[in-house]
Amino acid sequence: MGGPFLANTTAADCQTWCDLATSLGITDFDVCSVDWNNPVPWAQEARPGWGAVMPEYAGYLIVILFGVFFSLVTSVMVWFEKTFGGLVISSEHFNTAGRNVKTGLTASVIVSQWTWAATLLQSSNVAYLYGLSGPFWYAAGASIQVLLFGILAIEVKKKAPNMHTFLEMIDVRWGKPAHMTFLFFGFATNLIVTGMLLLGGAAVVYQTSSMATEAALFLIPVGVIIYTMFGGLKATFLASYIHTAIIFVGLVIFVTYVYAVDGNCAADMSKQCNSIGSASILWERLTFVVR
């Protein structure tokens, strides 16, 4: 297991940690490469006394620049389609995206719109509370709904190709009372989901940068409103495609950095090793911390 490499780690501390690691069967992770007596003060670096990982102005920059970026990119894409593709945005096209959205764009929209605040935040929370089974069963429950929705959407497209909303189908099939009932629940669902998305995003920005929650709640939807007004439903589909690409790129980067980059901790034994490097080391770190 090595020796007391760190300046603040004594030989007695290292021996105690090594004995515990041996009893736990830890083999891949050198427990003496971390000063367990002094936690890493990353949460205090950006703002003393606050657990933010970046300064407050960074939160404002991220929210504003992301809104400007998506507004510009999506608006430019719609403009190119109108200028060079002969697209004419009527009220019908504004609400239906021309009814010619292809499979790839539709799939990316489903992924993007189902990757909402709870997908990232609650799945992490249940992973912390229940281990690997938490995010697995969370994803399993959502996956069933997505699969059923896909099958239902295909059948609706075949049987009612000119329909605008699912409420029209309910009105034709079951009449006005059922239509009004589902209309109420449709509006209620939209309000609840919109509030959850805004509050979830604002809470993340607040916890990471101490940006005012009220400011985040007002600034986050501004960019969405701009490109939706410019291109309608088609603009939201294009933005969702970009969202999905960013999500996958971010996941690949994070997974690679966490599980495949070891940080070359063996090069300098006098500095604490804060990298992980593999899934087995992550498991051993968590096992050691819990004990």
Same-domain check for residues 30 and 166: no
Same-domain check for residues 166 and 291: no
Look up the pTM and report it.
0.71
84-93, 124-133, 142-151, 236-245: least confidently modelled range? 84-93
The pLDDT, as a whole number, for residue 16 is 83
Same-domain check for residues 204 and 128: yes
Residue 5 within any structural domain of the chain = yes
Same-domain check for residues 15 and 109: no
| Mean pLDDT confidence for 212-241 | 85
Same-domain check for residues 215 and 187: yes
3-state secondary structure 72-100: HHHHHHHHHHHHHCCCCCCHHHHHHHHHC
Residue 210 within any structural domain of the chain = yes
Confidence of residue 123 (pLDDT cuts 50, 70, 90): confident
Residue range(s) defining the domain that contains residue 16: 1-40+272-291
pLDDT at 256 over 70: yes
Same-domain check for residues 77 and 8: no
Residue 49 within any structural domain of the chain = no
Residue 123 within any structural domain of the chain = yes
pLDDT greater at residue 44 or residue 258: 258
Contacts of 177 (CB under 8 A, 6+ apart): none
pLDDT greater at residue 172 or residue 237: 172
Distance, CA of 183 to CA of 190 (rounded, Å): 11
57-61, 203-207, 230-234: least confidently modelled range? 230-234
| Mean pLDDT confidence for 135-149 | 84
The pLDDT, as a whole number, for residue 46 is 46
pLDDT at 280 over 90: no
Residue 46 within any structural domain of the chain = no
Confidence of residue 153 (pLDDT cuts 50, 70, 90): confident
pLDDT at 127 over 80: yes
Nearest to 138 by CA among 116, 118, 117, 123: 123
Residue 131 within any structural domain of the chain = yes
Structure tokens at 261: 């980059």
Q: Considering its fold, how many domains does the chain have in total? A: 2
pLDDT tens, position by position, 108-118: 777 777 777 77
- Amino acid of residue 37: N
Same-domain check for residues 117 and 217: yes
Rounded CA Rg of the chain: 25
The pLDDT, as a whole number, for residue 1 is 47
CB 240 within 8 A of CB 73: no
Confidence of residue 269 (pLDDT cuts 50, 70, 90): low
Residue 47 within any structural domain of the chain = no
Same-domain check for residues 282 and 258: no
Same-domain check for residues 65 and 103: yes
Nearest to 202 by CA among 211, 193, 190: 211
Residue 235 within any structural domain of the chain = yes
Same-domain check for residues 1 and 126: no
Same-domain check for residues 13 and 133: no
Same-domain check for residues 65 and 206: yes
